[in-house]
Structure 1
Amino acid sequence: MKHLDVKQIEEIIPHRHPFLLVDYIEDYEPGEFAVGYKCVTFREDFFRGHFPQEPVMPGVLMVEALAQVGAVAILSLEDMKGKTAYFGGINKCKFRRKVAPGDKLRLETKIIRRKGPVGIGSAVASVDGEVAVEAELTFMIG
């Protein structure tokens, strides 16, 4: 298994705090897949307004975290170094459970198709084995 800490992730993708939504990569294979984690804490900026009475991680940020993990998978290829993966689309997205402070969000994105600068990833985020969100993510390399 190949591991990446936050500094190594920052060498691959351009995201930075507070928008870097991946704390570490547990395993990855360049161009194939990546598995990462986001340790959700009460101190996340978005919890101040979403929602103060019942903090819930916004679904769009869970999808973004999955996209960042997918970007690690694709941009870790030697010929992709220094490039940026942009969102091209989100399909078949389903939210299955809330994510709250204290949850450890497991993020897995598999690259299922790629043609030139465009590709598709199959992505699933879960907490303790329970699916929180699943989606098919289209990306474009620029």
Structure 2
Amino acid sequence: MKRSAKAPLRALMVGVDGPRSEKLFQLLANVGIELIPRSVSEDSLYKLLQELQPELIFVDVNSTARDTLEHVVSSHPALPQPVVSADGDLRISLRRLAGDIGISLYVSERVSPCLLQALIDITISHCHSIGVLEQELALLADNSEIMVAALH
């Protein structure tokens, strides 16, 4: 099943759950990328990738499925591949994505380098801004409890 060149990009998340998946889901929807809502078992990964044909795969760096994904995509070059680039900015961005957010990214050849860089930068920025807001809200909540206690 070949997809139209004008169809929106599709993303699959592997082993990404909890708050990070919610943040990524919101971000992908905001930039017009369709999230393929599937739970992925390691046994069905190849079949699922062939069937759904995602252009982007987000995988938790600590997920056991990452090893399976690495094996599957190395055997099938038409599937999204790990992002490796000689471009210094992209390499730094990828290290930040993996280190700060805990996610590795696999991308098909249909995704342009410019779009890829923008997506990585937006993802990092969005996740960090949400984290900062959560910290500020927690601090405000702590301060309001102190103020209430001081008034009584």
User: What TM-score range do you get, normalising by the shorter chain?
Assistant: under 0.3
- TM (norm. structure 2) is 0.24
Q: Determine which structure has the larger helix proportion and give its number.
A: 2
Larger-Rg structure? 2
**Superposition TM-score, scaled by structure 1 size:** 0.26
